[in-house]
Amino acid sequence: MSLPDVIARARASGDPSPLLAAAEGSPDRALLLAWADALGVPSRYDPAALSPTDAASIAREHLVRLTPERAHPLLARADDSVLHAWAAVIAGEPAASFESLRREARDAGRSAAVVELTALEALATASTDPAAAETLARRGVRMAATEELPESAFLANLVLARLRRLAGRPHLATHILATLRRYAPPSWRRWMAWELTLAFGRLGASLVEPEGAEARAAIERALEGDTTGAPTLLRDDLRTLRALVDGSVDAGSDEAAVRAFREGRAHGVPRGLHGIAAVEAGGAAAWVVVRPGLAPTRLLSLALPRLERDGVVVLPQSHRHRGRADTLLAACALEGERGIDEGALFAASYGFAYDAALHGGPFGVTVHRARQRLAELGNLERGEGIVRLDTRERLALPDPRCAVGTEDRALQHIALGGAASARSIAEALGVSLRSAQQALEALVREGLCGRERDGNAVVYRVEDTTFHEPTQQHALPVPSRGSSGVRGPSGGTG
């Protein structure tokens, strides 16, 4: 078997063992060991023994896997401005001017480089200008599709998926990633596994194994403060996730959003992390923790195992429609010893303004149900227009305002599988067929789902005006010796 074939097959399978076997006594030993290193077997080799083109190809493989530190020895040899920008972005470092780099790439006819620089600029600006970043990512995806540049399209779509999760739309991220995993070569799976896990928990991770299991284990470690093995690109995600699970930890750049969530001033989970929290818990994404002598705080459901180990009593989530008693308890608990005005508490529980003459009766019933929920764990004191939660217990109370509803849960499952019927959604969510149908019809009316016939069945698909499933024409070609990937129409590489 020729050397290019050995390398191509190892990349396609993700198995570096043929490279190690071929390296024995080979004049191309450095090249084969460098590729084995890129595919996961740490190997000693001399970067200076590689051609600039081979060094670029192998550096790119490391960058795709979000390991820029392993690409650094190759980058000086490669002398590729796109790869240098890529390494800087995923390492959280400043990159050169993207506009000037794109201009140079366009002048050189490097179509793939233009696409990738557009995607990388989107990734670099995600935290400072999310709207501009998503516009850039969408542009990169469309450019890659127009130019038929499959490997560049993988980068652009992964960036778009990440931005959509960060914007609080993990179902769109799941839709992109769950589809791409069927087409992307093994080198992209680590990044996909991390994003799928953050967007959809264990169920997302299970789509990309064994990388999904590794990502899930690393996230578990990160929740305890150990970020060993976590990609630098995702450190802010993990820091925020930990701060949403441990109220004593600050969240760095996301501190303001995390504080608003903890205090109940905002109900959206920062960085689109409600997907992992809700799926892992199977219900409410967040719980209000009340401890005598300490300020109340709201944490993601991922905190529950630790809270239970610490002796905190976890009040099970109610299965009553709307969960207003649970909402009332959570809203009251977040106000601490000062209590909350009845009008504000009613608005928090019902979603509209309080009129004592009209709503006094129903509100009283909800307060009564909330007291029944507490039972001997505490009491709701009501007087002079103020309601207070009085308890000497350490409690965790579910907050339905942060729950992922039937519609959102249905959307995630459709995104995960590509398409689904009402019956399959009902079974997956454990709800009645009628509830599933109502949720799906609401999603169709909102333009989030499309409905179509598949034989005699009606199925639903996620609507996405930017991302489209690749076709077999996007299958990656076998690279020739020294190729760094896909060539555009002009012959330029990216």
Secondary structure in 3-state letters for 151-208: HHHHHHHHHHHHHHHHCCCHHHHHHHHHHHCCCCCHHHHHHHHHHHHHHHHHHHHCCC
- pLDDT for 470 beyond 80: no
Nearest Cα neighbor of 155 from 121, 111, 126, 120 is 120
User: 146 pairs with which residues across the strands?
Assistant: none
Give the per-residue pLDDT at 447: 75
Tokens standing for 447? Answer: 């333009």
Give the per-residue pLDDT at 442: 82
H helix intervals, 254-355: 255-262, 274-281, 304-309, 324-334, 342-350
36 pLDDT tier (thresholds 50, 70, 90): confident
Q: 466 near 160, Cβ under 8 Å?
A: yes
Report the topology of domain 406-462.
Arc Repressor Mutant, subunit A (1.10.10)
Distance of CA 474 to the CA centre of its chain: 25
Give the per-residue pLDDT at 108: 92
Q: 451 near 458, Cβ under 8 Å?
A: yes
- pLDDT for 244 beyond 60: yes
Q: What angle do CA 8, 12, 18 make, to 5 degrees?
A: 65
321 pLDDT tier (thresholds 50, 70, 90): low
CA dist 79 and 53 (Å) reads 9
- pLDDT for 46 beyond 80: yes
Q: In this structure, which amino acid lies at residue 48?
A: A
Give the per-residue pLDDT at 320: 67
Q: Which residue has the higher pLDDT, 181 or 334?
A: 334
Q: CA torsion sign, 464 to 469 to 473 to 475?
A: positive
Give the per-residue pLDDT at 438: 86
CA dist 297 and 166 (Å) reads 23
Give the per-residue pLDDT at 183: 83
Q: What does pTM read for this prediction? A: 0.82
- pLDDT for 366 beyond 70: yes
Tokens standing for 359? Answer: 């709503």
- pLDDT for 223 beyond 50: yes
Give the per-residue pLDDT at 343: 93
For 276, phi and psi rounded to 5 degrees? -65, -40
CA dist 398 and 274 (Å) reads 14
Distance of CA 494 to the CA centre of its chain: 26
DSSP state for residue 318 in the 8-state scheme:
P
Report the topology of domain 284-402.
Arc Repressor Mutant, subunit A (1.10.10)
Q: Is the peptide bond between 210 and the residue preceding it cis, with omega within 30 degrees of 0?
A: yes
| Residue owning tokens 């290019």 | 4
What is the domain partition of the chain in residue ranges? 34-195, 284-402, 406-462
Instruction: Please determine whether the domains at 284-402 and 406-462 fall in the same fold group of CATH.
Output: yes
Give the per-residue pLDDT at 276: 83
Q: In the chain, pLDDT over 70 holds for what percent of residues?
A: 91
Q: What is the mean pLDDT of the chain?
A: 85
Nearest Cα neighbor of 213 from 199, 227, 196, 225 is 196
- Residues with Cβ < 8 Å from 97, sequence gap 6 or more? none
- pLDDT for 335 beyond 90: yes
Give the tens place of pLDDT for each residue, 266-291: 998 899 888 787 655 556 789 999 99
Give the per-residue pLDDT at 362: 92
- What's the length of the chain? 494
489 pLDDT tier (thresholds 50, 70, 90): very low
482 pLDDT tier (thresholds 50, 70, 90): very low
